[in-house]
Amino acid sequence: MTDCKSTARSLSEWFATTPGGYVLDYEQAWFDRSVNDIFGYNALQLGLSGHDFLRNSRIPLRFSGEDKTGAALRLCADELPIACGSLDLVLLPHLLEFSALPHAILREVERVLRAEGSLIISGFNPHSLWGLHRTMVRRQGYPWCGHFIALHRLRDWLSLLGFEVAEISFDAYAPPFQQWLSRTDLIESAGKRWWPASGGVYFVHAIKRVPGMRLLKPSWNAGLVKKLLPVAPKLNNPQRGDTASCDNNVNRLDHE
């Protein structure tokens, strides 16, 4: 992750502040709701291992990993020590915007996910009051030192890797100032109604699609097929008149 000079030395420390706790509450609620409906056998959370965003998942094997001392699984997100097609769910909570290699991370995630596997990403929205604040202040400290990725750009990256975006959601509409965070109920309801795409954070649920094979059958020439097929012999189905003629012949033979 990017090395930033800040009172909070990591995003996890920033989540302990008032603005960070405000964002964390919405993120935890969204992850709890989303992972509950995803099934499979193996799930991985990359980054922020101190916060269990997989706690509500029904997947039996759940683990987290990051390049940090004390992590349950220490790894580099752009070189995952995981077999291809072995995971059913991967979470990327604010990992891409604080990484120097976001494209490499997405490529690795695509590799380790099985077909129809799910990827859930959370990120700070540059087209929001949080993004505006980042451009107006010195970009030091978390989360302002990160590179906020625009949603349309992220969708392009996912599309190139064969992902299909299934859901996009926004939250945290209040400005990133402590005096505004006491009136979040009014601001959140107004934001969801009047400017829904301007939340401070966004969530993207994408699914890995793998094109299936389709057997191409030859386009036969119907006229040629008719000529090549053998003609079945016609069965002699005697009509009513023929039956009467046969009966007369039998009677004549009997008299003779």
pLDDT single digits (tens) 41-78: 999 999 998 999 999 999 999 999 998 877 788 899 99
pTM: 0.77
What does the pLDDT read at residue 84? 96
What does the pLDDT read at residue 1? 40
Of 167, 172, 163, 153, nearest to 35 by C-alpha is 167
In single-letter form, the type of residue at position 50 comes to: G
Alpha helices in the chain (DSSP H): 11-14, 18-35, 102-112, 129-136, 151-160, 184-194, 222-228, 240-255
Q: Are residues 112 and 102 in contact, defined by beta-carbon separation less than 8 angstroms?
A: no
User: For 86-114, how does the pLDDT look when each residue is reduced to its tens digit (9 = 90+)?
Assistant: 999 999 999 999 999 999 999 999 999 99
Tokens read off for 219: 């386009």
Domains of the chain plus CATH, in order, are 11-208 (3.40.50.150)
The residues that bridge with 120 in the sheet, in sequence order, are 91, 205
Q: Using CA atoms, how far apart are residues 31 and 216, in angstroms rounded to an integer? A: 42
